[in-house]
Amino acid sequence: MAIASTYSTFPIRTSSSKVHESSVSSVRFCGPKSARLSRFATELGCSMFETKRVLKCAAKEGVNAFNSLSLKSSQEDDYVPMPVLLIDQDSDPEATIVQVSFGDRLGALIDTMKALKDLGLDVVKGTVTTQNNVKETKFYITKMDRKVDDPDLLERIRLTIINNLLKYHPESSEKLAMGEVFGIKPPERKIDVNVATHIHIKEDGPKRSLLYVETADRPGLLLEMVKIISDINIVVESAEIDTEGLVARDKFHVSYRGAALNPSLSQVLVNCLRFYLLRPETDDDSY
C-alpha cells in the first residue's frame, strides 16, 4: 500500500487574486486510489486542506463531489460583493469620514488617497478594519483644517471614489448606478424609483430637523437635492451621504430661520423632493 505524506506551507489563492500563506501539518493520504484523488484535486487548484475535505466527500458521493466543488469554486469566482460608500459627518467632530468597502477586494487605496488630495483635501488619517470578510477602509479628511461641508465638494468626493472603484475594480460596475454609463457591464437589476424612494423628516432638537432621503442613485443627485432644498429657503447645515450599490441613502440636517421645520414646511419640502426624484429624467445637466 502506497502512503503519501505532506508537511508543507503553501499559498491559497482566493477569488480576489490575493495570495495568503497557510500551513498544514501532517496531512496524510493513504492508498493508491487516495493518491490519485489527491493528484486530481491538486490539478483542480485545491489546497491540501480542500483536498482532504474533497476526499471525504468523494468517498460518500463519488466523482460528482468533484463536479460540485468545481461548480462552487466557479460561483465564488463570479460573485461580486456589494460596493458601499459612506460619507459621515457626525462621528468625528473635526473631520469628515469617508468609508469605502467592496467585500475583501480593496487594497491600500493609494490611488484614491491621491485623488482626494488632488481635490485639495487633506487626509488626516486612515484606518482599515475587517469584519465578516468585509474590509472597510476609512479616510478622515479635512479642507483647510475643517470638515468638508460644501455639497459640491462632497459630491465630487463621492464621484471620484466611485470612478476609482470602476477603474481599478471594473467588475463593480454591475453593482453601481454609474456602471450603466461608465462601467464595462451595466447593472442587471434595475431600481424602481417609485418603490425605492422614501422621504422622512423628523425633529433633531429645537433648532434643526433631520431629513432622510432614500432613492435610486444617479450622478449629481446630492447637488440637485441641495438646490431644491435651498430654493425654498431651507438651510442645509450638514449632509451624510451613503451609497450602497444602486441605492443612495442621504441625511441632511436642515433648518429654517434658525429653527426646526414646522409640519407645513416639512410637507412642502417632501413634495418638492418627491416631484424631482420621481421624474424619469432631469431637464438640467447635473454634472
CA distance 162 to 116: 12
Is residue 48's pLDDT more than 90? no
Contact call for residues 122 and 143 (beta carbons, < 8 A): yes
Q: Over range 266-277, report the average pLDDT.
A: 94
Cell triple for 125: 488619517
Is residue 178's pLDDT more than 80? no
Contact call for residues 236 and 229 (beta carbons, < 8 A): yes
* Kind of pairing between the strands at 134-142 and 122-131: antiparallel
The pLDDT value given to residue 213:
96
Backbone φ and ψ for 221, nearest 5 degrees, come out as -60, -45
Instruction: Give the contacts of 95 (CB within 8 A, at least 6 positions apart).
Output: 124, 140, 141, 142, 147
The alpha carbon of 158 is separated from its chain's Cα centroid by a whole number of angstroms, namely: 12
Is residue 94's pLDDT more than 80? yes
Q: How does residue 143 score in pLDDT terms, banded at 50, 70 and 90? A: very high
Is residue 68's pLDDT more than 60? no
Q: How does residue 104 score in pLDDT terms, banded at 50, 70 and 90? A: confident
Backbone φ and ψ for 182, nearest 5 degrees, come out as -105, -10
Only one residue has cell 447645515, namely: 237
CA distance 275 to 53: 57
Collapsed DSSP state (helix, strand, coil) of residue 112: helix
Instruction: Give the contacts of 33 (CB within 8 A, at least 6 positions apart).
Output: none
Torsion-angle region of 258 (φ positive above 0: left; ψ -120 to 50: alpha; else: beta): left
CA distance 79 to 74: 9
Radius of gyration for the alpha carbons in the chain, expressed in angstroms and rounded:
25
Cell triple for 140: 478622515
Q: What letter represents residue 265's amino acid?
A: L
CA distance 11 to 112: 29
CA distance 106 to 17: 11
Decide which of 260 and 57 is more confident: 260
Predicted confidence (pLDDT) per residue in 191-220, tens digit: 777 778 999 999 998 899 999 999 988 888
Q: Which of 47, 53, 48 is nearest to 68 (CA)?
A: 53
Beta-bridged to residue 35, according to DSSP, are none
